[in-house]
Copies of this chain bind each other. A is one copy, B any other.
Amino acid sequence: MVKLTFMPQQHTAQYPPGTKISAAAEAAGFPLDLVCGGRGRCKKCTVLLQEEGRKPREVLACQEELHADALVQIPYRLLKQEAVILTGGTPGKVRLNPAAAKVFLPADRLKQHPADGDLERVKLALNSPRLKPPPLEVLRSLSARLRSPKGVTALLLQDRLTALEEGDTTGDFYGLAVDIGTTTVVAYLYDLHTGAQVSVASSLNRQTTVGADVMSRINEAMKEEGLVRLHRLVLETLEALLQEAAEKAGISPGQVYLAVLVGNSTMQHLFCGFPPYYLGRTPFTSTVLEQVLLPASKLPLSMNPAGHLIFLPLIGGFVGADTTGVLLAAKLGYSRKLRLVIDIGTNGEILLGSRERLLACSTAAGPALEGAGVAFGMRGTEGAIEDVAITPERVSYKTIGRTKAQGICGSGLVAALAGMLRAGLVKPNGRLLSREEFLTAGGSAKLAHHLEEVEESRVFRLTPAEEGGIYLSQGDIRAVQLAKGAISTGVALLLEELGVAGEDLAEVLLAGAFGNYIQVDKGQAMGLIPDFPGVPVRPIGNAAGAGAQKALLSRQGLKEAGRIAASVRHVELASHPRFQERFIASLGFPPGKRG
């Protein structure tokens, strides 16, 4: 048997002579990522082999057989680990290889690399000749830190050394993926050492106190103190989520070294402190589309000061990093299949294409489907009507948590509209019938009873007074109609731009939490979700958040985000010559199908 010690793991075990290094590594629990399948072609599995009494030499782990006791140094990039992303949609798998990394260098290992310079010694010990030097402050303490008898842990960000910590701190290594929505912010905390998701925290974006939609935020940020305030509010939101997520996981926020953020273009500006002055007016120019790297030390956050935050790249106009996240998760850019992705939010983002060509647009759907601007509207929390069924005999409904109805959320609105259209209570042009009109048209007396007038406005009552007296008004229906019209217009114009028909699609994907809760058939019945013959519709969960997680867990994912974002053509709807015409044509609901 020959004795093999793996570095930097300091793992020693015995193997039969002739064992290949890759097999020994796998047996030791350090499976290598053999890109060419171990055929010695890709040369990516180069490791440093030091046989006893011989000089170290570079060999291919998939080819070299062991014949003497030896030490093998594996570049940390070669270690294969997988992480599973959970966001409510289909879990995705990525190879764990975050842009930030921690590598422990035991004291005796450093001694094996004598060099005339201490930074050069670290490079040798890390087997990273191209490592970029750390900031001046880190360099100043480098020599002393390197001589700690406990060894040091190198913190790396891509190809840069960012810090050195005394002793083995590789276990203290967490990362946060954050989806900054206009209304809601969600933070996913991961153990970057193991790839496990350890907690999730979400809350309202504190900026909502300033305004419900992006235009109101932009208007506020036109004033310098408004920008300062909005920047502070979103950072306070993140800081609270960071603390909550850390507490749930039983760690300290200081153990978080990397955060990857997605959000629309306005959220990116306000988070980074960029004045959104030119984003708010035609031609809607952002300060920077590409990924923004923010040192944690420059922001009022309790994550590790040597850590970094990365805001994923924007696509253009109001199509932001959230859409980049969706693309990364939904993999439109990898498949030949033509697909459509709809992410319904205050701003709706629509993506269309395949790996040949990708288009994206943003539409101001308004906050109606998130419960704002609707008489009894509310977010999808306990007590919200989430489903409505309308028959000629009765109106029935379900609330979240099966508690007393407090209001109605987006999926309830969609279901109510679908039912009302089917029952002939609402005309395809969006007009709510009066009780008389409904009866004249042959409607049932029981349903007609739900049609009333409140404050000179026609309403359709969903629950009796003792159950909250919740209704939808003509105004509420118009708000939903505008959202539906905005989304439909975006879909129609993108199909037109690409020169394809809806029937050519392989699939329609619904991104976002809303896509998970909405009932597809009801969404199609009221026209919010496209209903192309033979084209399946599939919800994919919070794809923006999933994309952020992918970029957090994998440097390849992060790199892809940049490539993808740059490959998408942004179609500016507001200035599109056929926008007005299309929008008016898209406002109508589908004719109600009597079942």
* A interface residues (Cβ-Cβ under 8 A, vs B): 114-121, 133, 136, 139-140, 142-144, 147, 272-275, 277-278, 283-290, 292-295, 298, 314-317, 570
Given contacts A274-B139, A277-B143, contact A285 B316 (CB under 8 A): no
Chain B residues, Cβ within 8 Å of A285: 115-118, 121, 143
Sort A-B residue pairs by CB-CB distance and give the 9 closest, nearest first: A116-B316, A117-B289, A119-B288, A117-B286, A143-B287, A143-B278, A117-B288, A118-B287, A120-B289
Known: A121-B285, A133-B292. 5 other contacts (CB 8 A): A114-B283, A118-B287, A120-B288, A120-B289, A136-B295
In angstroms, how far is the closest chain B Cβ from the Cβ of A441?
49
- Chain B residues whose CB sits within 8 angstroms of the CB of A290 once the complex forms: 117, 119-120, 133
**Residues of B contacting A116 in the complex (Cβ-Cβ under 8 angstroms):** 283-286, 289, 314-317, 570
Chain B nearest CB: distance from A142 CB in Å? Answer: 6
Least distance between A315 CB and chain B CB atoms (Å): 8
Complex Cα distance, B226 from A186, in Å, reads 50
Interchain CB contact under 8 A, A275 and B117: no
Q: What is the bound-complex CA distance between A264 and B292, given in angstroms?
A: 38
| CB <8 Å contact, B118 and A288 | yes
Whether B288 and A140, one on each chain, are in contact in the complex, defined by CB atoms closer than 8 angstroms, is no
User: What's the nearest-Cβ distance from chain B to residue A122, in Å?
Assistant: 9
Q: Knowing A118-B278, A316-B116, say if A287 contacts B570 (CB, 8 Å).
A: no
On whether the beta carbons of B286 and A139 are closer than 8 Å, the reply is no
The chain B residue with its CB closest to the CB of A295 is: B136
Q: Which chain B residue shows the least CB distance to A293?
A: B133
Asked if A275 contacts B118 (CB within 8 A), the reply is no
In Å, the complex CA distance between A115 and B133 comes to 33
**Chain B positions within 8 Å of A294 at CB level:** 136
Can you identify 9 A-B contacts, CB atoms within 8 angstroms? A116-B286, A117-B287, A117-B316, A136-B292, A136-B295, A139-B288, A143-B285, A144-B275, A144-B277
| Distance in angstroms between the alpha carbons of A534 and B294 in the assembled complex | 62
Among A142, A287, A293, find the residue whose CB has the most chain B CB atoms closer than 10 A: A287
> Which chain B residue lies CB-closest to A131?
B290
